[in-house]
Amino acid sequence: MRYLGPAEIRQALDPLELSERLRAAFADHARGRGANSPRLVLPTVGRGALGAMLAVSPADGLVGAKLVSVNPENPARGLNPHQGIVVLLDPDTGEFRAGFDASEITALRTVALSIAATKALARADARTLAVFGTGLQAYLHAIAVPRVRSIEEIRIVGRDPLKTARLQKRLRDHFARIGRSGPAVKVDTNPAEAARAGDVLCLCTAIAQPYLRFADLRPGAHVNAVGACRPGMREILVSPRDPLAVFVDDRERAREEAEEIRSYFVGERADRVVPLGDVFAGTHPGRVGNGARTLFKSVGVGLQDIVAAGLVLENLARREKHS
């Protein structure tokens, strides 16, 4: 039985490369090929939950599933709150191919789809990135977005001054390490002010109550909202009355889980919520005009997990062949 842990996955998976694979897989899914199952979630102990997601991507020859346990108390134990496994099966025989650490796959596939969304929806001349949160996703988004847009300034906003300062240092060290000056990294204590300065915003917190509203977004801003992952949690307050173009990874999953855009699914408003795959497939234009405000709400789907796992195997096989 082959099992790939966090270090092996990290070495084999580049989020930028993965973003292109996800773009192709989501476009294929939008054309009616492949499938995502509804997310099955069961309560466990305390505030914990156990979730399962199944997915098939015929074009990639991928069949698999993710079983993940979400434990909000884990950070206090020094553990990732997401623990579990992603499994790939042989598409013809159903035989086990490999297992993968779910936390690492989830982290990298989440930011990879945000990269794809940013490339498709953010203005080409975006220069300022505002990142909300101080955890792993905040870090990954802060180093990823400058790879697809010419970001000159990053503003980070966090509730804990010590964690925010640590993230600032970590980002400065990262850009120094890769051999270029990189964007200026600043700390901002006012969420609304940081939002008003941002051409691209990445919302990566676990805060239940919204700390931003539509009026805080400057004309032309693009938002990647990845943090609020359960019903009842909202990072930004928006409504169908706002001139906001809303995109999601999966419309049905968003209808059930994305509290921020719950009101968009009342009556006939659901047509305003556009699957990102439609943009990738060329059946929806995405951003319409430089002044348009766009929001990508990510809830996470199994297709992301199996495509990421498949790319890990592909890259490892290529390296082994040439070693």
Render 274-299 in DSSP notation, one character per residue: EEHHHHHHTSS----STT-EEEEE--
Tell whether 174 and 260 lie within a shared domain. Answer: yes
**55 contacts 64 by C-beta, under 8 angstroms:** yes
Tell whether 50 and 199 lie within a shared domain. Answer: no
Tell whether 143 and 176 lie within a shared domain. Answer: yes
Tell whether 97 and 170 lie within a shared domain. Answer: no
Tell whether 61 and 135 lie within a shared domain. Answer: no
pLDDT at 269: 67
CA angle 144, 293, 38 (to 5 degrees): 70
Map tokens 């694979």 to a residue. Answer: 21
User: How far is residue 264 from each of residues 128, 239, 256, 272, 303, measured CA to CA in Å?
Assistant: 28, 7, 12, 7, 24
pLDDT in tens, 184-225: 999 999 999 999 999 999 999 988 889 999 999 999 999 999
pLDDT at 319: 87
| pTM for the structure as a whole | 0.95
Query: Residue 286's domain is classified under what CATH number?
Result: 3.40.50.720
Query: Residue 64's domain is classified under what CATH number?
Result: 3.30.1780.10
Residue type, 128: T
Tell whether 273 and 126 lie within a shared domain. Answer: yes
Tell whether 170 and 135 lie within a shared domain. Answer: yes
**Confidence band (pLDDT; 50, 70, 90) for 228?**
confident
What percent of the chain stands above pLDDT 70? 99
Tell whether 268 and 172 lie within a shared domain. Answer: yes
Domain count, the chain: 2
Tell whether 61 and 173 lie within a shared domain. Answer: no
Tell whether 277 and 242 lie within a shared domain. Answer: yes
Tell whether 162 and 261 lie within a shared domain. Answer: yes
Tell me the residue range of the domain where 310 lies. 3-106+302-321
Tell whether 212 and 135 lie within a shared domain. Answer: yes
pLDDT in tens, 112-144: 999 999 999 999 999 999 999 999 999 999 999
95 or 231: which leads in pLDDT:
95
pLDDT at 1 > cutoff 80: no
